[in-house]
Amino acid sequence: MKKKNKLNEGVFDAAKRFSDAFFDGLKMNATNKALEKAKKSKSIPPNIVQKMGELDKAAKELEKMLKELE
């Protein structure tokens, strides 16, 4: 019975990692598209677009640091 539970845990862990990576990819793609659209927009001031880029970079750095703690 323990082997079956370990196998199930491994399968669920793999599925969770896959779904997390999938949705992280979607989020990153949406963020990149929004940032590119803002850069091309004439109605958004350049300082706001710059700040959006800085925030995106800071969020990626923080995520990397948190992953290193695991």
Per-residue pLDDT tens over the stretch 2-34: 555 665 677 778 888 888 888 888 888 888 898
What is the model's pTM? 0.61
Residue 52 in this model has a pLDDT that exceeds 60: yes
DSSP-assigned states of every residue in 9-57: HHHHHHHHHHHHHHHHHHHHHHHHHHHHHHHH-SSS-HHHHHHHHHHHH
Q: Using the 8-state DSSP alphabet, how is residue 70 labeled?
A: -
DSSP 3-state assignment of 1?
A: coil
Q: Which amino acid is at 8?
A: N
- Please provide the size of the chain in residues: 70
